[in-house]
Structure formats: C-alpha cells, structure tokens
Amino acid sequence: MELPPGCNLQTEGNKQVCRLRKSLYGLKQSPRAWFGRFTSFMKSIGYKQSNSDHTLFLKHNEEQSTALIVYVDDMIVTGNDLEERKTLQEHLAREFEMKDLGELKYFLGIEVSRSKKGIFLSQRKYALDLLNETGMIACSPASTPMEENLKLCVHSNQVPANKERYQRLVGRLMYLAHTRPDLAYALSVSSPGKGILFTKGDNLDIHGYTDADWAGSVQDRRSISGYFTFVGGNLVTWRSKKLEVVARSSAEAEYKGMAKAICEMLWIRNLMQDLHIKQVSPMKLYCDNKAACDIAHNPVQHDRTKHVEVDRHFIKEKLEEKLIEVPHVRSQDQAC
C-alpha cells in the first residue's frame, strides 16, 4: 500500500503506519465486508433480505415485486415493476461502479435463452471447454453417464490416478450438473446440447420424488439416496448423495432419503413465501417403497423405527401439520 502524500516513514521504531477503515482487495475478510456493505445499502433503499437465501433481496408493492440476486459482484434483477427496476438501477449506479449488460443471456457459465415455451438453461460452452480440456471433443456420445450396476471399489495393487486432476474434473462436472441432473448419481459415486426448460404456467405446486438403493457401496455398504423437486412441473433442485450411516433395510435407506427431500421441499416453500407465492395444498413427496410410506403414516412401529427416531418424528410432524403428503408411487412411474 502506498503512503498518502506528506506522510514520512521513519525506519526506526513502530512499523505500523496506517490503520485502514476499509478492506483491501484480496484479503480473506474482504468478501464478507463487501457483502455487508451491499446488504446495508439494499436495506437502506427499502429491500428485504430473504431468510431462505441471503443473496436474494426483495421489494413488494401491492401486486408488483422486484427481486435482485447477487453472486459476489454479479447481479440479476427481475420483476414486474418496471419503474422500480429502473429506480434500483439508478441507485446502484450512484453507489457503485457498475455496468448494465442488458437482458440476461449468460450468467456464471450458464446460458439463458427465452422462447414461447419458457426459459431454457444450458451449459453448452462450458461442456465443450471441458471436453477440450480432457481431449474428448471427438468422443462418441453415451446414452447414460455411467455403466448400469457399476460398483466402484479400491484395489490395493491399482496404479493411483493424478489426484489433483481427478478432483478438478469432478468439481467441473459437479458444476455442469446444475443443468444436467442426469449426472448427479454418477458424480455421487465418482464424487452437450442438453439443459433444463422452465415452462410457463399458473400452477406452482411443489412436489418431489425420492429413491434410494440399499447397501450399494461395495466399500462400506452405505446406501445412496437421491431426490428431485418440482415447482409447477418444472425441475428446480436435485441431489444424489451417500448416506452418513449404514441402513439396516431398504425401507430405512428410503426413509432417510425421504427426510432429506422434505427438508429441501420446505426450503423451497419458504423461499416462495418470501416471493409472496403461497402454497394452498400440501406438498407431495412420491416414494416407491411402500414400507417407508407405511412407517411415515404409522407412528406406532417403534421397534422398527427407534434407531431413526429423529427422522421419524420430523416426517410425522410435517404430516400432522399437513405441509406434506407421502403417496406411494409404482417403481415404473418413479421419476427419481
């Protein structure tokens, strides 16, 4: 840091010269300081910070609303109040150095396009860059990202892979899964031209699907559970993850996965409440394991469920509050 004009530094004695009343770029506390300043500014002009997503700021005016979401210093502004959006842009331009990039077409590696059907998200450029990096740009496409029923395990005599490269590529694939939910399971096991279409519609009910294998890991016999969540028929979140503990039955594995899916659906419900979108009917979570559905609806099976009491009471509470329903679905109709 350069000293201000007129300040002479003595070589002897105390070496501390300046005490900053701001953050310097590159320090570990700088991002937090920047976000704190931005949050204070947004609140000062009448915006409310969402409790479900602290990077989302909202302002409602009767039937009109404006939303701003920020990632570091990249922002998206949307809403049906055109006058407020213009006013917000003027406020931001006065307070910060900013550039208006116009209608949203590209954000954090995700391409956005609009049509009469709805909004389409894809990562074509990101996928092509990844194929170039791995030398697979001319490879033949596969119908699935992973061989069916493939079980991975550690062999003592195998040649170790390049750990840094493997971790980097898995991380890049995880980011690609933002618009490719079909990659989620393959990534949980291994730790272009496709994307997600958000269609138009007035129905914004929340529903989800959950599924799990049982003792699928050859290494430690832990199960992998996953879920899809939909809003108005549009896929919005998904996850596939190995359970933290070994499940003693397929019903237990499904039940633990069910609890994780309900947590996600409750978060979506709270986020929609911040957007002034109310859910009239209970959220539905479909599961193809009848035993898990029976446990959810029958709280007296203590001997079968006492080792998963926390999950059982959590699901039972949400059922009694009529926030969720857990209907059984046939395996052939299971979307997860």
Long-range contacts formed by 68-73: CB under 8 A, 24+ apart: 68/42, 70/35, 70/38, 71/108, 72/31, 72/34, 73/34
Helix (H, G, I), strand (E, B) or coil at 208: strand
CB atoms within 10 A of CB 209: 21
Check the CA dihedral 175-178-179-181 and report its sign: positive
| The pLDDT of residue 9 | 66
Residues pairing with 58 in the sheet? 48, 67
- Whole-angstrom Cα distance, residue 201 to residue 231? 10
| The pLDDT of residue 70 | 95
- Whole-angstrom Cα distance, residue 268 to residue 231? 9
| The pLDDT of residue 170 | 80
Asked if residue 281 lies in contact with residue 327, where contact means CB atoms within 8 angstroms, the answer is no
CA distance between the termini of the chain: 55
Asked if residue 81 lies in contact with residue 61, where contact means CB atoms within 8 angstroms, the answer is yes
- Whole-angstrom Cα distance, residue 40 to residue 315? 37
**pTM of the prediction?**
0.74
- Whole-angstrom Cα distance, residue 111 to residue 124? 8
Q: Which domains does the chain have, with CATH numbers?
A: 30-102 (3.30.310), 104-138+164-199 (no CATH), 201-336 (3.30.420.10)
| The pLDDT of residue 141 | 75
Under DSSP, the state recorded for 328 is B
Nearest of 177, 256, 164 to residue 212 by alpha carbon: 256
CB atoms within 10 A of CB 188: 17
- Could you read off the pLDDT tens digit of each residue along the chain, which spans 336 residues? 666 777 766 655 555 667 777 788 888 888 899 999 999 999 999 999 999 999 999 999 988 999 999 998 899 999 999 999 999 999 999 999 999 999 999 998 889 998 888 999 888 888 888 888 888 888 877 766 666 666 666 667 777 777 788 888 888 888 888 887 777 766 666 554 466 788 888 889 999 999 988 887 767 888 888 899 999 989 899 888 888 888 888 888 888 899 999 999 999 999 999 999 988 899 999 999 888 888 888 765 556 666 677 787 888 889 999 999 999 888 877 776
